[in-house]
Amino acid sequence: MHIILHEHYNFVLLKHLYIIMDKVIEKLLLNGQTTPQAALEVFDSLETVPMSFMWGRWKGMEIPSGHPIDGILEWSNWYGKQFIDAENVHPLLIWTANKKGLYAINPRNIPLGMPFPKNKLLTISMRLLKPFLQTRQSAARLRMVEYRGKTSAAMVYDTKAIIDCFRKIDDRTVMGVMDLKGSAQPYFFALERDDNAAYNLQF
* Of 139 and 202, the one with more pLDDT: 139
The listed CATH number (1.10.730.10, 3.30.70.890, 2.40.128.580, 1.10.443.10) that belongs to domain 2-196 = 2.40.128.580
The answer, yes or no, to whether residue 1 has pLDDT greater than 50, is: no
Provide the whole-model pTM.
0.83
pLDDT at 106 over 70: yes
Mean pLDDT across 164-173: 92
* pLDDT reported for residue 95: 94
Q: Are 82 and 90 in contact (CB under 8 A)?
A: yes
Q: Which has more pLDDT, 140 or 113?
A: 140
Give the span between the Cα atoms of 41 and 39, in whole angstroms. 5
pLDDT beyond 80 at 180: yes
For the chain, what are the domain ranges? 2-196
Task: Say if residue 45's pLDDT is above 80.
Answer: yes
3-state secondary structure 106-168: CHHHCCCCCCCCCCHHHHHHHHHCHHHHEECCCCEEEEEEEECCEEEEEEEECCCCEEEEEEE
The whole-number average pLDDT for the span 109-126 is: 84
Q: Residue 87 burial by CB count (10 A; 0-12/13-18/19+): exposed, middle or buried?
A: exposed
Amino acid at 30: L
Pairwise pLDDT comparison (4 vs 68), residue with the higher score:
68
Provide the pLDDT for residue 202: 84
